[in-house]
Amino acid sequence: MNAPLNPAGTESGEGARSLSGKALAASLREGTRAAVEAAPEAGRVPKLAVVTATDDESSAWYVRSLVSAAGKSGLLHEVVHLGPRASTEEVRDALRGLDEDTSVDGVILQTPLPAGVDARALAEAVPPAKDIDGANPLSLGRLAAGLAAFAPATAEAVIALLDHYEIPLRGARAVVVGRSTVVGKPLAHLLLARDATVTVCHSRTRDLPEVTREADILIAAAGQPGLLTAEHVRPGAIVIDVGTNPTPDGGLTGDVAPGAARVAGALSPVPGGVGPVTTAVLLAHVVRAAREAGIREGLRG
Ligand code: NDP
């Protein structure tokens, strides 16, 4: 067994250090704001577009907070509301329009989508060059092949949080609980690209605690409140909780049970851990997409 990694500042016997994402998110947002302020000199202000086809209230709340954050960073933004009865063709047409619109740099196709639409075809219709949340399977494929691509913002936020706290990834044993295309799989590729030794668990994994106790870095992305308890955590391990599960009182809780903090060396809180970093990464991706579009334009001209 490897010795457990010890993040800077963690002292044994004091419980887990809290890996807040707030300071990192603020500094990423500041970087975006500075880049946007410089943008007029480069020609134009980067723009985010969000396509929604739902009347789901929590989705609407998320889009409002994202657009508000974009506005505070000085980004232009547009929300295309198609309503919960939109067809596959209507959503596809909206995505095509945003692909052709040279003022738009980043496109997000918000979920949930209406029942009956072809979600896979729509993910494929998100323009790859503007796919700032890594929704198009092309982006995941490029990521897996080690090529330049936008990773889903949540997966990238986990890596950014680990880097922020100077947690070494090379050679570390990382266990990811969850294999979705939004979080688990892209995160596994990002960790591999950083030379971690990666295991991915899912609902059919046999003896989950035995596997997760192997982890120097344990990442919970299952969407199951309190799934990972003290028995799943190796003493001193770094635990990143991606889970955002609604509670009856209107709050959020993670996938990691409170008791795990007694064993872990460091633990990211929910809320206030990966979540704010995810939003900040998305906004940074809009600036990156605009920069890459500018480079392509320059090469053409
Ligand atoms: P999905 O439901 O798409 O995937 C969940 C994954 O967890 C699946 O691979 C599933 O396995 C696995 N899983 C479920 N139950 C268990 C279990 N008991 N033991 C082991 N594995 C299990 O969820 P997402 O990936 O979309 O999201 C995961 C969590 O992350 C959610 O709480 C979500 O809200 C949160 N999230 C947070 C974001 C943020 O910004 N902080 C952004 C995106 C998501 P199987 O494949 O076998 O079904």
What SS3 string covers 194-243? CCCEEEEECCCCCCHHHHHCCCCEEEECCCCCCCECHHHCCCCCEEEECC
pTM for this predicted structure? 0.95
Task: Give the three-state DSSP class for 109.
Answer: strand
The per-residue pLDDT for 3 is 42
Instruction: Report phi then psi at 114, rounded to 5.
Output: -60, 145
Shortest-distance Cα residue to atom 30 of ligand 1: 243
Query: Could you give the CA distance from residue 179 to residue 185 in angstroms, rounded to a whole number?
Result: 5
Q: Residue 73: name the closest of 37, 38, 44, 107 by CA.
A: 37
Ligand 1 centroid to 245 CA: how many Å? 10
Taking CA 171 as the corner, what is the angle to CA 163 and CA 237, rounded to the nearest 5 degrees? 65
Give the other-Cβ count within 10 Å of 298's Cβ. 8
Domains and CATH numbers, the chain: 43-117 (3.40.50.10860), 152-275 (3.40.50.720)
Signed CA dihedral, 32, 35, 37, 39: sign only: negative
202 lines ligand 1 (CB under 6 A): yes
- In the chain, % helix, strand, coil (3-state, to 5) comes to 45, 15, 40
The alpha carbon of 25 and the centre of ligand 1 are apart by a number of angstroms equal to 23
Terminal C-alpha separation, the chain: 57
Pairing state of beta strands 245-246 and 252-253? Answer: antiparallel
Tell whether ligand 1 has an atom less than 6 A from the beta carbon of residue 21: no
What pLDDT shows up at residue 4? 44
pLDDT per residue, tens digit, the chain (301 aa), is 334 444 443 444 468 999 999 999 999 999 999 999 987 656 789 999 999 999 999 899 999 999 999 999 999 999 999 999 999 999 999 999 999 999 999 999 999 999 999 999 999 999 999 999 999 999 999 999 999 999 999 999 999 999 999 999 999 999 999 999 999 999 999 999 999 999 999 999 999 999 999 999 999 999 999 999 999 999 999 999 999 999 999 999 999 999 999 999 999 999 999 999 999 999 999 999 999 998 877 767 6
Please tell me the distance between residue 18's alpha carbon and the centre of ligand 1 in angstroms. 22
Show Cβ contacts of residue 203 under 8 Å, excluding neighbours closer than 6 positions: 222
As a whole number of angstroms, the distance between CA 169 and CA 194 comes to: 6
State if residue 262 touches ligand 1 by the CB under 6 angstroms criterion.
no
pLDDT of res. 10:
41
Q: Which amino acid is at 62?
A: Y
Pick the atom of ligand 1 nearest to 245's CA: 32
Q: How far is the CA of 177 from the centre of ligand 1 (A)?
A: 8
If we measure between CA atoms, which residue out of 265, 19, 12, 264 comes closest to residue 162? 19
**Smallest CA separation from ligand 1 atom 40, residue:** 275
| Cβ 20 under 6 angstroms from ligand 1 | no
